[in-house]
Amino acid sequence: MDLAEFTFMPVDVVRRGRVAGYPSSSEVTRCAVAMLVELGERAADLSVVLCDDPTIRRLNHAYRRKDRPTDVLAFALREGLPSKGADQGTLGDVVISMTTARRQAREHDHSLRREVLTLLAHGLLHLLGWDHRTDAEDQRMRARVDRLVAAVPGRSSTQRERKSNERLGRAAVRRAHAKRDPRR
């Protein structure tokens, strides 16, 4: 599928807090557009905020009464409305903590890009009314997240991402050695 014809979809990517570098705003926009197309939301507006842990912690506390950072928050603007293919304008905001995304990428032993895509897909599904309160809902949502991530073209690592992962990998090796050798 050629996504060039869908470039009219307004996807705004904003950075808040101490967040710079990879992934680029254009990369996040491209990924979001592919996911929106896969979801049948070709004309939907979306805002994606890439932030740090202090920023997402403030939002989590203000809106969910949880005084701790989280990986992703979703603020739906059309809750309760039919969504499948409805193209009813603005979906809402997906807020991703890049600090937490980096940590989780290391913990899950996959790339930062993969983690950001997973969090973006998870947030989009929440905007469309999906939830994971039960095991069955969680399984359905995880499967749908995987399909959305797979819908993004060019899933191979970029050179910049590989370098970032190499640095993360070296740091993880140093931490593992430090745990085994208390003299370090």
Q: Is 182 part of any domain? A: no
**Per-residue pLDDT at 79 exceeds 80:** no
* Per-residue pLDDT tens over the stretch 1-30: 454 454 455 899 999 988 877 889 999 999
Q: Is 47 part of any domain? A: yes
Q: Is 106 part of any domain? A: yes
Split into its structural domains, the chain has a count of: 1
Q: How many CA atoms lie within 13 A of 1 on its CB side?
A: 13
Residues 96, 101: Cα–Cα separation, whole Å: 8
What CATH number is attached to the domain comprising 45?
3.40.390.30
Q: Is 28 part of any domain? A: yes
Q: Which of 122, 112, 126, 111 is nearest to 146 (CA)?
A: 122
- For residue 82, what pLDDT is reported? 52
Residues 108, 49: Cα–Cα separation, whole Å: 23
Could you list the residue range(s) of the whole structural domain that residue 144 is in?
3-156
DSSP alpha helix (H) spans, 39-134 = 53-64, 98-108, 112-127
Look at the block and give the residue holding tokens 């208390």. 182
Highest mean pLDDT among 14-18, 38-42, 92-96: 92-96
Q: Is 15 part of any domain? A: yes
Q: Which of 110, 94, 113 is nearest to 13 (CA)?
A: 94
Worst-scoring range by mean pLDDT, 98-107, 139-148, 157-166? 157-166
For the chain, give the mean pLDDT: 82
Q: Is 179 part of any domain? A: no
Q: Is 175 part of any domain? A: no
Residue type at 51 in one-letter notation: C
Answer yes or no: are the C-beta atoms of 69 and 51 closer than 8 Å: no
Residues 54, 67: Cα–Cα separation, whole Å: 10
Residues 118, 71: Cα–Cα separation, whole Å: 10
* Per-residue pLDDT tens over the stretch 101-123: 999 999 999 999 999 999 999 99
pTM score of the predicted model: 0.77
- For residue 21, what pLDDT is reported? 73
Residues 34, 6: Cα–Cα separation, whole Å: 9
Q: Is 79 part of any domain? A: yes
User: Rg of the Cα trace of the chain?
Assistant: 17
- For residue 9, what pLDDT is reported? 59
